[in-house]
Amino acid sequence: MSSTNSPADVDSGRSVRETPLLEVKGLRKYYPIRRGFLSRTRGYVKAVDGVDFTIQRGETLGLVGESGCGKSTTGRCLLRAVDATEGQVRYWISDETGWTDIYQLAGEDLRRFRQFAQMIFQDPFSSLNPRMTLLQIVGEPLTVNRLASGEELEHRVADLLRRVGLRPEYMKRYPHAFSGGQRQRIGIARSLALEPNFIVCDEPVSALDVSIQAQTLNLLQDLQEEFHLTYLFVAHDLNVVAHIADRVAVMYVGKMVELAESDDLFDNPLHPYTEVLMSSVLPPDPRIKTSQIEMTGEVADPANPPSGCYFHPRCQYAEDRCRHETPELREVRPSHFVSCHRAEEITLQGVI
């Protein structure tokens, strides 16, 4: 049974309270294509093309898809690290403040919002200033926001380092003295400095060895429980997402094509693109034989996307209406949203 409700209007059953922490409606980010002597705009790259979703307080929403699909851009738009072209991003800051649209904030109000939401970057090597000590790196948010200085700053940085598994005496050292996993812990400590409620994790383990990935994921889960954090977890490794995410959203060429609770999505995908992604997940038992679905054609050009469903040129289930009618993200099963005309007609294979 289908519904016209959007995920920005329906709360997840995993919510610890009825009001979501974050609500996104109609989010778009277009980058202009400029050519010629006068650099006139000839078109736009639609990095994010009309995305709607909510994130419940205390949950982890995984955001997956191929490279270039708009995952990281979406995360950055949620923090105003880059400004969206169009759309609404609202946070429930507190019971006293209520909903706040961050694209209506400026000046001191925007600076105060930065204490509410932070980011963990993908590359632990380029995201840390090599000329700064750990005290300066982790303490910089506290210094910039005038929240601590002197001995108090050192005490707070030492406490943050302990919480991420690093020794406080390391605070006088520089990033080059640490391994990749330790550098990522430094980045995590920095993101916690202002005691945020919401953190965008932009592929935080993709640059780490597999053994270190598990330690970092466990650390993020422990910190989430300790500090009552909410995560948007951007990743392309589905095994990692299955381990940490409560719900999973799938993006393709700037659009969200499926959104569901993690177990439901991995067991019973409803979108053909999600089925292709799931076929690439290797089972833990090497004796189980799997066959990866091979897609023909190229990823759609975000500067010149096809008509109708963006995935139809590569979809084995496409029919005529898929080529001409753009599918909307709709609730097909309870808390399971999909953007596919044939979601009720086809049966797809999940992870074995």
3-class DSSP assignment, residue 273? helix
- For residue 296, the model assigns a pLDDT of 77
With beta carbons less than 8 A apart as the criterion, state whether 309 and 318 touch.
Answer: yes
**5: pLDDT strictly greater than 60:** no
Q: Which domains are assigned to the chain? A: 20-119+224-335 (3.40.50.300)
Q: Residue 15 has what pLDDT?
A: 37
Torsion angle of alpha carbons 257, 261, 266, 269, nearest 10°?
Answer: -40
Q: Do 42 and 34 form a contact (C-beta atoms < 8 A)?
A: yes
> In the predicted model, is pLDDT for residue 11 greater than 60?
no
Q: How many whole angstroms separate alpha carbon 276 and alpha carbon 286? A: 20
134 in Cβ contact with 186 (< 8 Å): yes
Comparing 114-123, 296-305, 325-334, the range with the smallest average pLDDT is 296-305
| d(C-alpha 21, C-alpha 109), whole Å | 18
Going by pLDDT thresholds of 50, 70 and 90, the confidence category of residue 12 is: very low
Average pLDDT, the chain: 90
Residue 283 pLDDT > 90: no
pLDDT band, very low/low/confident/very high, at 2 (cuts 50, 70, 90): very low
Please report the pLDDT score of residue 63 as a whole number: 97
Query: Model confidence at 28, in pLDDT bands (50, 70, 90)?
Result: very high
Average pLDDT for 2-7: 52
Q: What is the pLDDT of residues 78-109, one digit of tens each?
A: 999 999 999 999 999 888 888 999 999 999 99
pLDDT in tens, 215-229: 999 999 999 999 999
Helix (H, G, I), strand (E, B) or coil at 239: helix
Q: What is the pLDDT of residue 154?
A: 95
Q: What is the pLDDT of residue 9?
A: 55
pLDDT digits (tens, 9 = 90+) for 121-131: 999 889 999 99
pLDDT digit string, tens, across residues 121-166? 999 889 999 999 999 999 999 999 999 989 999 999 999 999 999 9
Cβ-contact 261, 14 below 8 angstroms: yes
Provide the pLDDT for residue 6.
Answer: 58
What does the pLDDT average to over 47-54?
95
Q: How far apart are CA 258 and CA 330, in angstroms?
A: 9
Query: What is the predicted pLDDT for the residue at 17?
Result: 45
E-assigned strand segments in 117-188: 117-120
* Band (294; pLDDT cuts 50, 70, 90): confident
State which amino acid sits at residue 47: A
The tens digit of pLDDT for each residue in 234-261 reads 998 898 999 999 999 999 999 999 999 9
Percent of the chain with pLDDT over 90: 74
pLDDT digits (tens, 9 = 90+) for 305-338: 999 999 999 999 999 999 999 999 999 999 999 9
What's the distance, CA 214 to chain centroid? 19
With 80 as the cut, is the pLDDT of residue 26 above it? yes
pLDDT confidence band for 8 (50 / 70 / 90): low
CA angle 198, 202, 203 (to 5 degrees): 130
Cα atoms in the Cβ-side hemisphere of radius 13 Å centred on 267: 6
Q: What is the largest CA-CA distance in the chain?
A: 68
Stretch (H or E) spanning 87: strand 86-94
**Are residues 184 and 124 in contact, defined by beta-carbon separation less than 8 angstroms?**
yes
